[in-house]
Structure 1
Amino acid sequence: MNESQELSKQVVGIDIGKDMFYACYKALSNSHKIVIKGTKSFTNDLSGMQEFYTWCINRNTKPGCSLVFVMEATGVYYENLAYFLYERDCLVSVQLAQKIKYYAKSCNLKTKTDKVDSKMIAEFGIEKNLSGTDIWTPPSKSFKMIRDLSREHTSLKEACSTAQSQLHALQQAYSVHPRVITLKQQQIEFYKQQEEAVKQEMLLLVKEDEILFDKLENIISVKGLGFITVIKILAETNGFLLFRNIRQLVSYAGLDVIEKESGSFKGKTKISKKGNARIRAALYMPAMTASVYNPDLKTFYNRINEGRSVKKQGLIAVMRKLLILIYTLWKKNEAYIINYNDRNLSTVKA
């Protein structure tokens, strides 16, 4: 057996943090023996990434055996390293955090440290056959710009909402100096102007990409869904690049249902909320609108809430339905059809 055949798989598991990341280099031999070639922490900056890359190259004694770098999609902290490795023609696999979490549970891990997590992620990469859609491809440059603008729009909207609450409090307070109220009003007006400017810039970028613009037009044909909402969903999911099916997407958004039952005990059914809160925030107002003005979703909303005094469950169900609609229309690149058979939505795969 020659040297290039001694190893069948090489994986570097990476546990990403804001300032540091921990790496574990594992290799699988043809005899199914797993060898740890090293573990080390690095700073999450350019200097640390360059050191990490050299560290990996020095341990890759079998270039004929592919090396895959596996990491979690943890906020935005993984992005710089993922781009750094991708630009050097490395195979990068970015996995949903919940997928890694469930794998860790299956391994019955009781200790949680950065070092242990990096070993577990490397083990995940060794066990799984990471190829095809598992290999990360970054969004286009224009899409990344749209995503950055979308997040800035969200920040401006939140700041404006906070300022409006502060203005209301000032107006109700006793003997507040008029100049303070004027300044707060000017601040709110500034936020609104910036919101509109960011929105127009996003619209220009979208129109430059004909494929993206056509897909968006199909999606915003759904009553209740507007341009900003759809852009925010696409931005927070990287255009659904990491998702293979609807179940993964719903779980990522924290809109999956949790049931607690044991014997005669029946707990409350609720959503997990263990996911991307920005997606849920983006869908809340559109769901309220759709439950009133979208004929299909209004019927669905009323059916869910039949016999209920609290209407929250129906609203959450509409949020989930809207998310699935966006995903389906994006993947199929089709326009929304009123009264379309809902069963077809559940069959869509990435």
Structure 2
Amino acid sequence: MNIPGIDVSKNKLGCVLLTSSAPDKELYKKVPNTPVGFRQLITWSCKKARCESAQIHAVTEATGPYHENAALALYQAGMRISVINPARIKHFAKGIGVKAKNDKKDASVIARSGLMNKPPLWKPEPAEYRELRAMPGRPEALETDIRREKNRLEKIRAGRATETAEASLNRVIIFLREEKKSLRKQVRNHIDNHPNLKKDRSFLESVPGIGPVVSSWMLVLLQGGKRFDAAPKAASYVGLTPTEHQSGSSVLKRPRLSKAGPPVFRAKLYMAAMVAARYNPDAKELYQRLIEKGKAKMPALGAVMRKLVHICFGVIKNQAKYTSQVKNEG
């Protein structure tokens, strides 16, 4: 297999190519992280490997938004491509004894990881989900800006502020509130304009504790039930899986959430879990059972967050509204 390992930065792509004919020989090329650079990388890889693009399995690591255009261009050119968690690459490098770090060495480690581990193939998410992914976070960012400006307003009112400064801050706050309202409307309209998103939203919002904001984030996470093949994998992705730290009899720490995934999902699910622990029959039963067993409130809420992910995955996968699994007494 011909494997180019691609180290991604904001402006450049560093690529080490391992060919099937000479897997121990590393060929290196650096190109711009632009459409022109993508075409150069595809042409160079095919030429050096002496094969068609379909016989190449490119491997890169997730690097914020900077890897996405390159991954999409390689995929559309017919290459197979894998996008790996950077933490896995880091641990792989330690495992094979790599201590130095530069662009070429990083690309080499990525290529070697792909060659040895044969990571799963990546596919681009559908356009409606890709567009939605960029939308829910903007109102939250504006809410942070509004709080910041309100704090500034409070400070100048407590001091000897001028009317000009106070009026300026009030205008900014009004603008930010209107922009936040406009963005929330755009999110709703985007979902309404795509029947699959609209239908999935109705399933998600049938779950007690899941409102319009959390449902938007869950649509991005679950992508119609096609992103993960099991609910535990979705919960693991957002960092809600308990992890142990135990060895022999001397090392024994309490299990805790891995917190390995995007923190924004956990932040939204935490607020949803507080509501669900009171009004969602399944979540309430789980929360009360854990509290009665002596669990602290925070670990119990973590379990409720994980339960909500499982429930959301279930309603999307089964294309059905929420039905409580708790048996009614009497």
Tell me the amino acid that sits aligned with residue 50 of structure 2: T
Cα distance, 1:283 vs. partner?
Answer: 1.7
Give the alignment of 1:254-273 within 5 angstroms.
Answer: 254-262=239-247, 263-273=249-259
Q: Structure 1 residues 207 and 45 mapped into 2: Cα distance closer, same or farther (>3 Å)?
A: same
Cα distance, 1:153 vs. partner?
Answer: 2.5
Structure 1 contact 14–118 (Cα < 8 Å) conserved: yes
Tell me the amino acid that sits aligned with residue 185 of structure 2: Q
Q: Structure 1 residues 59 and 111 mapped into 2: Cα distance closer, same or farther (>3 Å)?
A: same
Corresponding residue number in structure 1 for 2:206: 221
Cα deviation code 1:87-143 (max 9, x no counterpart): 32332222344454555555454444443332232223323456xxx3333223232
User: How far apart are the structure 1 equivalents of 2:153 and 2:283?
Assistant: 36
Q: Structure 1 residues 21 and 65 mapped into 2: Cα distance closer, same or farther (>3 Å)?
A: closer
Structure 1 contact 255–320 (Cα < 8 Å) conserved: yes
SS of 1:315's equivalent in the other structure is helix
Cα deviation code 1:262-321 (max 9, x no counterpart): 314432432233321121222222122212222221222233334659522222222222
Corresponding residue number in structure 2 for 1:120: 109
Match of 2:132 among 135, 146, 159: 146
User: How far apart are the structure 1 equivalents of 2:125 and 2:185?
Assistant: 21
Corresponding residue number in structure 1 for 2:12: 20
Give the alignment of 1:89-104 within 5 angstroms.
Answer: 89-101=78-90, 103-104=92-93
Corresponding residue number in structure 1 for 2:273: 287
Give the alignment of 1:183-202 within 5 angstroms.
Answer: 183-202=168-187
Corresponding residue number in structure 2 for 1:318: 304
User: How far apart are the structure 1 equivalents of 2:315 and 2:75?
Assistant: 29
Tell me the amino acid that sits aligned with residue 187 of structure 1: V
Q: Which runs of 5+ in 1 are unaligned?
A: 1-8, 342-350
SS of 1:200's equivalent in the other structure is helix
Corresponding residue number in structure 2 for 1:68: 57
SS of 1:339's equivalent in the other structure is coil
Cα distance, 1:77 vs. partner?
Answer: 1.3
User: How far apart are the structure 2 equivalents of 1:310 and 1:326?
Assistant: 25
The two structures have a TM-score, normalised by structure 1, of 0.80
Q: Structure 1 residues 326 and 105 mapped into 2: Cα distance closer, same or farther (>3 Å)?
A: farther
Q: Structure 1 residues 233 and 305 mapped into 2: Cα distance closer, same or farther (>3 Å)?
A: same
Match of 2:285 among 293, 299, 302: 299
How many residues align? The count is 326
User: How far apart are the structure 1 equivalents of 2:289 and 2:93?
Assistant: 38
Query: Bigger CA drift: 204-213 or 218-227?
Result: 204-213
Tell me the amino acid that sits aligned with residue 25 of structure 1: L
Corresponding residue number in structure 1 for 2:40: 51
Corresponding residue number in structure 2 for 1:344: none
Matched, 1:174 2:159: yes
Q: Structure 1 residues 258 and 309 mapped into 2: Cα distance closer, same or farther (>3 Å)?
A: closer
Q: Which runs of 5+ in 2 are unaligned?
A: none
Q: Structure 1 residues 116 and 64 mapped into 2: Cα distance closer, same or farther (>3 Å)?
A: closer
Cα distance, 1:78 vs. partner?
Answer: 0.9
Tell me the amino acid that sits aligned with residue 43 of structure 1: P
Identity of aligned residues (%): 27
Structure 2 contact 8–14 (Cα < 8 Å) conserved: yes
SS of 1:94's equivalent in the other structure is strand
SS of 1:118's equivalent in the other structure is helix
User: How far apart are the structure 1 equivalents of 2:185 and 2:231?
Assistant: 31
Cα deviation code 1:19-68 (max 9, x no counterpart): 32321211335xxx734351233332233323322321321313397111
Cα distance, 1:217 vs. partner?
Answer: 0.9
Q: Structure 1 residues 218 and 162 mapped into 2: Cα distance closer, same or farther (>3 Å)?
A: same
Query: Bigger CA drift: 59-68 or 17-26?
Result: 59-68
Please provide the CA RMSD for this pair: 3.0
Tell me the amino acid that sits aligned with residue 162 of structure 2: H
